[in-house]
């Protein structure tokens, strides 16, 4: 008996029932379907041409289906059937070091993705009992963030600002800073230009640990369904590591474009528009997405998922609909200012309106002790600087405060893709607070900052190792570190340098 004959004889006989509908009309990545009364919300639908979509709107006589594939071969009258399943994405270590689309299909030419499992893109957020307090730091390597707006594992911190103010750069630098940490990073690009995504990937490959990163790309030319599920797919990929006791960081770039895609789909499926033509559930969409970021309790494995969503403003308007929604959902925001960016203050973080609602609870003890009055001192300096522009005689005390503030501002400038070690951040803040930089010009401050890591490694390497291991400084370590900084200051001031 041949194998083919055996398969025929073993095949079950009898009638089978299959629910099939038909496409009524299709345009702009959305198909209206009739004849599938039993389809559920978010169910995956399969077209006879091989394309897939998911049910976004259920009406009494038809279904609004958002396509996940190109609609070029589809037309009215084509057959479609329900699968009984929802949209799923591959998860696991096989995704690390890969560039994929929101369905986990490879975009980097490195062959198929080897997945550990396949999980739904829509999953429930952990409950209150399953969560733990956010106390462990996420070291971003960006001095202005780590000292003034510290992040914690399991936190959701919004990065918001006008176009071309360094939002993506700040997020990519945070990923690069995890090169020597145990965090796995997922970068989700929603509607971003191909050139912008290429720059981000190049930075991660050159400066970071790309073999512990996943890049999920839904470009502006992809179907709107792929752009819509991209943040949810990235969150599912990150949750797999969190649920297995590991630590993950996800960057979503950006949710303003995702909200625009959600509005586009809602209008095409004839949902009722609300403020700025967004549907009424746009807040719920982003809330249920970002609530999935959390630090789990020890009973759940102790893993964490930290989220850095990005949002875009127009003319610095933080009170716009989508930025306001995201600010109210997240645990703080880092606001980037276009004026500071144009003046060369990069990262262009506006310290007056940025905030972390976790803050010092997650800072390393040595950095918290060194920077405890830094934000107040800097805010006072900015206010004084405005008033001194009117002219007049300046008291010596005020002049000293202005000098200290100018040195602080110079210290907070940082080149891109160059994250700092914790000991370097502690040393820079100590140098400012102790007045070691008051005698240096702003240009010499840059020279001091560039030479400082080597000087610490040569003269205070034991302090650096102890600080890296524990995040603290003993009195002896502090004295040794200050001695090394004073020696470096004298060397920078000398004409031989």
Residues marked as catalytic: 357
In angstroms, rounded to a whole number, what is the distance separating the alpha carbons of residues 253 and 201?
13
Collapsing DSSP to helix, strand or coil, 131 comes out as strand
What does the alpha-carbon distance between residue 154 and residue 296 come to, in Å, rounded to a whole number?
Answer: 8
The angle, 0 to 180 degrees and rounded to 10, between the axes of the packed helices 475-493 and 461-470 is: 130
Q: Residue written as tokens 């509908």?
A: 21
Q: Count Cβ neighbours within 10 Å for each residue of 111-148 and write b for 16 or more, e otherwise.
A: eebebeeebbbbeebbeeeebbebebbbbbbbbbbbbb
* Largest distance between two CA atoms of the chain: 106
Neighbours of 324 (CB within 10 A): 14
Residues whose CB is less than 8 angstroms from the CB of residue 183 and which lie 6 or more positions away in sequence, other chains included: 138, 153, 212, 247, 248, 249, 306
Which one, of 240, 249, 114, 267, lies nearest residue 178 by Cα? 249
- Residue 347, phi then psi, degrees to nearest 5: -65, 140
Of 337, 165, 176, 181, the residue nearest 254 (C-alpha): 165
Given CA atoms 115, 117, 122, 125 in this order, what sign does their dihedral have? negative
Distance CA 287, CA 28 (A): 27
Among 31, 74, 27, which Cα is nearest to 50's? 74
- Calculate the alpha carbon distances from 398 to 39, 89, 422 in Å: 71, 59, 31
Cα–Cα dist 68/44, whole Å:
10
């Amino acid at each position: 008996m041949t194998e083919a004959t055996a398969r025929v004889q073993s095949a079950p006989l009898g009638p089978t029932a299959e629910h099939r509908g038909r496409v009524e009309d299709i345009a702009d990545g959305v198909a209206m379907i009739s004849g599938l009364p039993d389809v559920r919300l978010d169910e995956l639908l399969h077209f006879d041409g091989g394309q897939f979509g998911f049910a976004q709107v259920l009406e009494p006589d038809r279904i609004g289906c958002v396509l996940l594939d190109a609609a070029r071969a589809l037309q009215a009258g084509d057959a479609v059937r329900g699968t009984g399943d929802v949209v799923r994405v591959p998860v696991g270590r096989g995704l690390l070091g890969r560039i994929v689309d929101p369905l986990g299909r490879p975009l980097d030419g490195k062959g198929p993705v080897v997945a550990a499992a396949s999980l739904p893109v829509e999953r429930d957020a952990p409950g209150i009992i399953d969560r733990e307090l956010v106390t462990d730091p996420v070291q971003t390597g960006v001095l202005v963030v780590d000292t003034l707006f510290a992040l914690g594992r399991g936190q959701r911190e919004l990065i918001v600002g006008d176009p071309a103010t360094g939002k993506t750069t700040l997020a990519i630098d945070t990923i690069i800073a995890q090169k020597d940490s145990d965090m796995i990073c997922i970068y989700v690009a929603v509607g971003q230009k191909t050139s912008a995504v290429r720059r981000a990937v190049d930075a991660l490959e050159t400066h970071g640990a790309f073999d512990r990163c996943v890049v999920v790309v839904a470009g502006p030319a992809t179907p709107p369904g792929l752009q819509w599920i991209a943040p949810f797919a990235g969150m599912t990929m990150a949750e797999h590591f969190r649920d297995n006791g590991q630590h993950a960081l996800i960057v979503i770039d950006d949710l303003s474009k995702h909200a625009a895609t959600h509005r586009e789909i809602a209008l095409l499926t004839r949902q009722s528009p609300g403020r700025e033509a967004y549907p009424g559930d746009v807040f719920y969409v982003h809330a249920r997405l970002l609530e999935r970021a959390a630090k789990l309790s020890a009973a759940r494995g102790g893993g964490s998922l930290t989220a850095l969503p990005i949002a875009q403003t127009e003319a610095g308007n933080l009170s716009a609909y989508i930025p306001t929604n995201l600010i109210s959902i997240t645990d703080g925001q880092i606001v980037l200012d276009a004026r500071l960016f144009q003046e060369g203050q990069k990262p262009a973080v506006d310290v007056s309106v940025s905030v972390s609602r976790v803050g010092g609870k997650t800072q390393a003890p040595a950095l918290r002790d060194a920077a405890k009055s830094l934000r107040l001192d800097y805010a006072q300096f900015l206010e004084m600087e405005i008033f001194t522009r009117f002219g007049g005689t300046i008291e010596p005390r005020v002049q000293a405060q202005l000098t200290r503030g100018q040195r602080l501002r110079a210290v907070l400038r940082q080149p891109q893709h160059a994250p700092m070690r914790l000991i370097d951040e502690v040393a820079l803040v100590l140098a400012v607070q102790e007045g070691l930089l008051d005698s240096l010009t702003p240009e010499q401050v840059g020279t001091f900052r560039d030479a400082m890591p080597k000087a610490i490694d040569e003269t205070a390497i034991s302090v650096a190792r102890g600080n890296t291991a524990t995040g603290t400084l003993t009195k002896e370590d502090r004295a040794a570190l200050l001695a090394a900084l004073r020696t470096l200051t004298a060397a920078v001031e000398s004409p031989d340098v």
